[in-house]
Amino acid sequence: MKINDKTFVPYIRENELQEAILSIAQAINRDYADRKPMLIAVLNGAFMFASDLIKCLDIEVEVSFVKVKSYEGTQSSGKVKQLFGLDAPLEGKDVILLEDIVDTGHTVQYLIKLLEEKKPASISIASLLFKPDALQIPVDLQYKGIEIPNIFVVGYGLDYDGFGRQYKEIYCLEE
Ligand code: 5GP
C-alpha cells in the first residue's frame, strides 16, 4: 500500500485489533459497572477506535472529543497543540481518555493537565496501541490494547500526512 512517497505493509490484522478492543471494553464494563463515565476521544487518530469501543460497552456513557496535533510526517514534534474541545463541564465526572496510540507520552501528559483543571472525579486512559520504547514521560495507562516497537504505523484512524486513516488494519513502513 502506498501513501505519497512511502510504502506500507500489513502489520496488525483486523481481528487482532477487534479482540484488543473487546478486551478493553470488557474491562471498562467491569470497572465502571456502577458509574456513567465520560469518554473523551482524542482526534483525529482515535475516531475508529472510539467508535468500535463504544459499541462494545453495555454501561451508560457520555461521549466527547478533543482535537490535538503533535505529529509532523512520521515524527512526533514533541509539542502538542489543542485545536478544539474540552468545553464540556467535567467536574465530578469519571473521565476516560481514548487515545489511538501512546508514543512519547507528551500528548497524554498535556491532556491530563488540561483535564485536571476541570476537577473530574477520576481520569483514566485507554490506548489502542502503545510504544513502550518511545516513551519519554511516565504514563499511567489503565487500558492498553497492543504493544508495538518504536515504528511508524498507519491505518485504522492513524494517518501519514493526512492519508491512510480508512483502513481496517494497521500497516507499518516497509523496511
Ligand atoms: P505522543 O504525544 O505520545 O508522542 O504521540 C501521540 C500522538 O502522536 C498520537 O495520538 C498519534 O496521533 C501520533 N502518533 C504517534 N505514533 C504514531 C504512529 O506510529 N503513527 C501515526 N500515524 N501517528 C502516531
For a pLDDT cut of 90, what percent of the chain falls above it?
85
Cα–Cα dist 31/52, whole Å: 19
Q: Which grid cell sits at 79?
A: 509539542
Mean pLDDT taken over the chain: 93
Residue with cell 515524527: 75
Determine the pLDDT at residue 69: 75
Question: Is the entire prediction scored with pTM above 0.75?
Answer: yes
**Residue 139 CA, closest ligand 1 atom number:** 3
Mean pLDDT of 15-27: 98
φ/ψ of 3, rounded to 5, equals -125, 120
CB of residue 21 inside a 6 A radius of ligand 1: no
pLDDT for 175 equals: 80
The verdict on the CB of residue 8 being under 6 Å from ligand 1 is no
- Residue with the smallest CA separation from ligand 1 atom 17 is 152
- Which one of 103, 133, 140, 159 is the catalytic residue? 103
Q: What is the mean pLDDT of residues 37-51?
A: 96
Q: What is the pLDDT of residues 93-134, one digit of tens each?
A: 999 999 999 999 999 999 999 999 999 999 999 999 999 999
Span 2-173 CATH architecture: 3-Layer(aba) Sandwich (3.40)
Query: Where along the chain do its domains lie?
Result: 2-173
Q: pLDDT above 70 covers what percent of the chain?
A: 93
Quickly state the pLDDT bin for 2 (edges 50, 70, 90). Answer: very high
Contact 17, 48 (CB under 8 A): no
pLDDT 10s digits, 58-68: 999 999 999 98
Which residue's C-alpha comes closest to atom 8 of ligand 1?
71
141 Cβ inside 6 Å of ligand 1: no
